[in-house]
Structure 1
């Protein structure tokens, strides 16, 4: 069973297009099409969140075998559009989505909204409601939070250890760090996730972290799976990723 996955994108359309090109080249070398799972955090911090959403939405519409999961940043964007006063339960109470550290203003700027981080929230929200297409809102809000494929389970942030996959909460799936990151037990599948930025993808045996810090100027990671075997895709080909 072959599949592909891409880590946290964070508004970097150019990096996403490069990752898709690497996957297309790998498919040509290794037996043709296979599903591509995107691990969420499509938006925030990078320069073209709108372009990322349009690329993925239109790709699915034309029949690409792409799974696009919901990340915590995607959920915060949807929540802001629904109710600018609402607070995501996973977010520190002293933060809002428009806090400079989170990058929400950059996402709104990609939709042509003027100075979204420097004006009162009410007019910024009104501008967002006018600028963000309903199709984008519907698509973003409907993203799944888990994808299971053979011995692989794809999520944005991780899972709550010891809880059955079907009983995981959305907030854990898009926000969790501990106790997941330090738990070394066998979860019954290889958990493929992002959310916690590293300098490079890392295989821990029971989980695989693909967030290589595109949000902070790092690369965007794409990998290929052959069963539970993992290969980092590079311009020169596959590089095995071992724990």
Structure 2
């Protein structure tokens, strides 16, 4: 038997749900479990600061945690570094702190209110109140991680290209043609980014973004001997390929 690997999809500032997911993993495998986090740690939920604190503290304590970078995880560092607020590929007309993107909730978790303030004032307060270690953590997260038979990535892959040939934009942003492509990618791709009602196994890929950013549960998964399960309070529930 191979060592089980655990994966957690998009968290989006939901620290209470993250704590619950981690408790389920610890109950299944103990504190030594290898966990791959698929990115999008911040925005929309109420405690992005707490989520980042949890991840930083876990890695610092020696937990076997691999934290990948999602598209939302680029917004804070880019604003912090260069004051760039309009960097969303999907909504380039909106500032990061627009409610649709969720940066307002992230800033609020650091005690930064945006109403009535200029971009310059928000930037100044961000640099004063966001710990540089949080900015550094998000900026340093890798874009993908490989295990035998598995590729973990935030959004997906450009079909036909190995991970090392992928662009950063595709790894963090792609939907089509990845989502509808049925081909074998050389390994099962475990990803998030595209919110669905619940995690789904499509044969060549597994989407673990069950919509936590939109108020739905956070589903931790376990992969062992090529099989997938979701972890619940009742134990492991099989996540078998659809169709």
Shorter-chain-normalised TM-score: which range? Answer: over 0.9
* In structure 1, C-alpha distance between the alignment counterparts of 2:209 and 2:58, rounded to whole Å: 22
Equivalent position of 1:90 in the other structure: 89
TM-score (norm 1): 0.95
Task: For residue 218 of structure 2, give the secondary structure of its aligned residue in structure 1.
Answer: coil
Equivalent position of 1:18 in the other structure: 20
* In structure 1, C-alpha distance between the alignment counterparts of 2:47 and 2:128, rounded to whole Å: 18
String of CA shifts for 1:164-221, please: whole Å, max 9, x gaps.
2111111111111001001010000000000011111000000000001111110001
Task: For residue 145 of structure 2, give the secondary structure of its aligned residue in structure 1.
Answer: strand
Equivalent position of 2:208 in the other structure: 210
- Root-mean-square deviation (Å): 1.3
Report the CA distance between 1:118 and its aligned residue: 4.3
* In structure 1, C-alpha distance between the alignment counterparts of 2:83 and 2:145, rounded to whole Å: 29
Equivalent position of 2:105 in the other structure: 106
Note if contact 2:88-2:96 (Cα within 8 Å) is conserved in structure 1.
no
Note if contact 1:150-1:227 (Cα within 8 Å) is conserved in structure 2.
no
Equivalent position of 1:124 in the other structure: 122
Note if contact 1:158-1:177 (Cα within 8 Å) is conserved in structure 2.
yes
Aligned pair count reads: 239
Mind listing any 5+ residue stretches in structure 2 that lack a counterpart?
A: none
* In structure 2, C-alpha distance between the alignment counterparts of 1:6 and 1:60, rounded to whole Å: 15
Note if contact 2:85-2:96 (Cα within 8 Å) is conserved in structure 1.
no
Report the CA distance between 1:139 and its aligned residue: 1.1
Q: Is residue 212 of structure 2 the alignment partner of residue 219 of structure 1?
A: no
Equivalent position of 2:139 in the other structure: 141
* In structure 2, C-alpha distance between the alignment counterparts of 1:172 and 1:118, rounded to whole Å: 35
Distance 1:145 1:118, change over 3 A: farther
String of CA shifts for 1:73-108, please: whole Å, max 9, x gaps.
001121111122364373432122122200001101
* In structure 2, C-alpha distance between the alignment counterparts of 1:143 and 1:160, rounded to whole Å: 20
Task: For residue 232 of structure 1, give the secondary structure of its aligned residue in structure 2.
Answer: strand
Note if contact 1:203-1:242 (Cα within 8 Å) is conserved in structure 2.
yes
String of CA shifts for 1:116-146, please: whole Å, max 9, x gaps.
2542111001000000111111111100010
Task: For residue 229 of structure 2, give the secondary structure of its aligned residue in structure 1.
Answer: strand
* In structure 2, C-alpha distance between the alignment counterparts of 1:42 and 1:149, rounded to whole Å: 22
String of CA shifts for 1:35-84, please: whole Å, max 9, x gaps.
10000000000000000000000110010000111100001121111122
TM-score (norm 2): 0.95
* In structure 2, C-alpha distance between the alignment counterparts of 1:153 and 1:142, rounded to whole Å: 19
Equivalent position of 1:64 in the other structure: 63
Equivalent position of 2:171 in the other structure: 173
Note if contact 1:105-1:117 (Cα within 8 Å) is conserved in structure 2.
no
